[in-house]
């Protein structure tokens, strides 16, 4: 007979499943621990208990406490006892185990709260630190962007120039004249991101494109552009240099794309400057040659001829003095042709036409101080088309040469009676002298263009041989003027 039977205790085999709810979960688990300690559980339940002991520290602690209690009981002398004593002893042990369990739960709860507070504190600190670092990093990036607004705004200018000395060398008559785009940028650099946000959508998009290209640069390239911008802004001539830089940039961007343009941009500073001068001079000469070849109609030529006659009469003394000074600079052939003319007034006029490109502008303005006022009188009388041609000139020298070229054409038109050609002469020219090809071309024209074109062909066939030429070679030879488009 076992000790349990002697004491009247009954061993109860408790299942691991939840009970019907008469006792709480803690009591059930305590009973399971007691059954486990007594070795009264089957193999499957025993395995579950051992698995939980390995996974659940709290459960294992409770088992250790009960095991210690049983060990203490085993050390006591055995006495006979009744059922009440046994029950009270078990109840005391259960109460002690419950107290230990509650203490364990309390300590676990405190540890959980402490762990949660610690994690919350660390998380808050991380958030604050992240916010601080983010504000520092992005604030620094925003401050740098604010400093770079003017550089980004003129990114193309700074990138294509990027050399203050090169920019100053461009001052030497290359980009400081009206032929080039001297209009300032449509928007000045924004002073803040708020101002940038208020720009028109198109201008804002252009700025963002420049910003994207700027951000792709290496840090040393960005630094070079910033330094160039600072040096430019400190220069006393910054306004003029900025304008020249803008003109140069527009000129470079207008160059035909391709290998030649890339080679040009890769040239060293001195070689690039030489190439710039060459290209610009060629373009200027070509443009002015086209301007000199512009045709005036017969009405304008008649006005110019009358004006020139009045001006030479007013300035006869100075014109005579000037032609005597410059006549010897002309070739012998031209001097002979001039001297073959019987009219002294025409001799002076022809000598003036032939030598105009050899006369310094300063000397001209000293001898004819009223020249600009006299030119303004002429411009007030000629057609809007002729005035538009005059507006395309660049500077006083080109204006002088153009007016003299007009005067020369008017001189030829009057000398060879171009202004007085009548319909009978045109009809005779059409029937007897016009080529079959040109006649067929004229016949196909609308009525409003017929007479104008026939007159032009007539003038072309009747123009005189060359009797002198311009020394510089600008434009057509003076003896072969462009044909006036129509009659008066």
CA distance 30 to 19: 13
Instruction: Tell me, yes or no, whether 440 lies in a domain.
Output: no
Nearest to 397 by CA among 355, 370, 357: 357
Q: Kindly state whether residues 282 and 163 are assigned to the same domain.
A: yes
Alpha-helical regions (H) of 178-237: 193-197, 201-215, 219-234
Q: How many CA atoms lie within 13 A of 243 on its CB side?
A: 13
Domain membership of residue 470 (yes or no) is no
What pLDDT score does 298 carry? Answer: 77
Q: What is the pLDDT of residue 313?
A: 92
| pLDDT at residue number 194 | 85
Query: For 4-104, where are the E strands, in sequence order?
Result: none
Q: Could you give the 3-state DSSP secondary structure of residue 360?
A: coil
For residues 414 and 305, the answer to whether their CB atoms sit within 8 Å is: yes
**What are the respective helix, strand and coil percentages of the chain, to the nearest 5?**
75, 0, 25
Distance separating alpha carbons of residues 262 and 403, to the nearest angstrom: 40
Within this chain, do residues 394 and 313 fall inside the same structural domain, yes or no? yes
Residues 223 and 301 occupy one common structural domain: no
Instruction: Name every residue whose Cβ is closer than 8 Å to that of residue 179 and which is 6 or more positions away in sequence.
Output: 283, 284, 287, 394
Rounded Cα distance between 379 and 335, Å, is 32
Q: Are residues 394 and 324 both part of a single domain? A: yes
Q: 309 with 382, same domain?
A: yes
Q: Which of 339, 148, 341 is nearest to 230 (CA)?
A: 148
Clarify whether residues 176 and 267 are in a common domain.
yes
Cβ contact 286:294 at 8 Å:
no
**Ramachandran angles phi, psi of 341, nearest 5°:** -80, 130
Q: What pLDDT score was predicted for residue 473? A: 43
Two tokens at 314? Answer: 């007013």
Residues 204 and 162 in one domain: yes
Contacts of 35 (CB under 8 A, 6+ apart): 11, 12, 13, 14, 41
159 and 285 share one domain: yes
Tens of pLDDT along the chain (488 residues) come to: 434 443 344 433 434 444 444 456 667 777 777 788 777 788 888 888 888 877 777 777 777 777 766 665 555 555 554 555 455 555 555 555 566 667 666 666 676 776 677 766 677 666 666 555 554 444 677 788 888 888 888 888 888 887 888 888 887 666 655 444 545 555 688 888 888 888 888 888 888 898 899 899 899 998 999 998 899 889 898 888 888 888 888 888 888 888 888 888 888 888 888 888 888 777 777 777 777 777 777 788 889 999 999 999 999 999 999 988 888 888 888 888 888 888 888 888 888 888 888 888 899 999 999 999 999 999 999 999 899 999 988 889 889 989 998 998 888 877 766 666 778 888 888 899 888 998 999 899 888 788 878 877 887 676 554 443 433 444 444 444 444 444 43
How far apart are the C-alpha atoms of 158 and 131, rounded to whole Å? 36
Q: How far apart are CA 166 and CA 176, in angstroms?
A: 14
**Is residue 138 in a domain?**
no
Give the end of a domain, one of 241, 268, 289.
Answer: 289
Instruction: Please check whether residue 247 lies inside any domain of the structure.
Output: yes
pLDDT at 75: 56
Please identify, among 289, 311, 327, the residue that sits at the C-terminal boundary of a domain: 289
- Mind spelling out the 3-state secondary structure of 75-129? HCCCCCCCHHHHHHHHHHHHHHHHHHHHHHHHHHHHHHHHHHHHHHHHHHHHHHH
Instruction: Give residue 387's domain range.
Output: 295-416
pLDDT for 253: 85
Out of 364, 392, 416, a domain closes at 416
Confidence at residue 71, expressed as pLDDT on a 0 to 100 scale? 66
Residues 320 and 214 in one domain: no
pLDDT at position 366: 92
Q: State the residue for tokens 């038109």.
A: 413
| Pair (375, 308) in one structural domain | yes
Q: In this structure, what DSSP letter does residue 479 have?
A: T
pLDDT digits (tens, 9 = 90+) for 123-163: 766 666 655 555 444 467 778 888 888 888 888 888 888 78
Residue 472 is predicted with a pLDDT of 40
Residues 246 and 309 in one domain: no
Q: How many domains does the chain have?
A: 3
Tokens of 245: 């830089």
User: Could you tell me how many residues make up the chain?
Assistant: 488
For residues 115 and 180, state if they share a domain.
no
């Amino acid at each position: 007979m076992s000790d349990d039977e002697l004491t009247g205790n009954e061993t109860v085999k408790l299942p691991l499943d939840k009970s019907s709810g008469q006792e709480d979960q803690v009591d059930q688990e305590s009973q399971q621990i007691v059954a486990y300690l007594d070795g009264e559980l089957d193999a499957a339940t025993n395995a579950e208990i051992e698995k939980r002991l390995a996974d659940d520290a709290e459960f294992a602690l409770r088992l250790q406490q009960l095991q210690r209690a049983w060990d203490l009981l085993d050390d006591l002398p055995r006495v006979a006892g009744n059922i009440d004593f046994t029950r009270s002893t078990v109840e005391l042990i259960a109460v002690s185990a419950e107290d230990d369990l509650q203490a364990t739960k309390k300590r676990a709860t405190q540890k959980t709260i402490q762990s949660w507070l610690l994690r919350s504190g660390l998380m808050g600190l991380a958030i604050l630190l992240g916010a601080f670092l983010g504000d520092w990093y992005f604030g620094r990036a925003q401050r740098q962007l604010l400093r770079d607004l003017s550089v980004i705004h003129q990114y193309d200018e700074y990138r294509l120039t990027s050399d203050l000395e090169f920019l100053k060398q461009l001052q030497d008559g290359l980009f400081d004249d009206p032929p080039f785009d001297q209009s300032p940028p449509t928007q000045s650099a924004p002073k803040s991101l708020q101002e940038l946000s208020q720009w028109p959508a198109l201008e804002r998009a252009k700025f963002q494109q420049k910003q994207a290209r700027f951000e792709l640069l290496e840090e040393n390239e960005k630094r070079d552009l910033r330094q160039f911008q600072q040096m430019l802004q400190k220069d006393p001539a910054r306004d003029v240099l900025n304008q020249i830089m803008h003109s140069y940039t527009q000129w470079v961007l207008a160059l035909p794309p391709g290998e030649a343009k890339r080679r040009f941009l890769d040239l060293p500073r001195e070689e690039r400057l030489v190439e710039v001068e060459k290209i610009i001079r060629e373009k200027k000469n070509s443009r002015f040659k086209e301007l000199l070849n512009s045709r005036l109609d017969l009405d304008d030529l008649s006005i110019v001829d009358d004006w020139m006659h009045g001006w030479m009469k007013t300035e006869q003394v100075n014109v005579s003095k000037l032609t005597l000074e410059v006549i010897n600079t002309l070739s012998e052939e031209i001097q002979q042709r001039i001297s073959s003319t019987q009219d002294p007034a025409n001799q002076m006029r022809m000598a003036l036409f032939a030598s105009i490109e050899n006369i310094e502008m300063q000397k001209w303005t000293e001898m004819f101080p009223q020249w600009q006022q006299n030119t303004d009188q002429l411009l007030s009388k000629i057609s809007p088309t002729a005035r538009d041609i005059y507006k395309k000139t660049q500077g006083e020298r080109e204006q002088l040469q153009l007016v003299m070229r007009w005067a020369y054409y008017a001189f030829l038109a009057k000398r060879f009676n171009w202004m007085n050609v009548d319909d009978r002469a045109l009809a005779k020219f059409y029937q007897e002298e016009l080529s079959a090809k040109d006649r067929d071309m004229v016949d196909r024209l609308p009525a409003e263009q017929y007479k104008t074109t026939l007159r032009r062909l007539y003038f072309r066939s009747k123009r005189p041989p060359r009797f002198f030429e311009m020394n510089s070679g600008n434009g057509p030879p003076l003896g072969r003027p462009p044909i006036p488009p129509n009659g008066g």
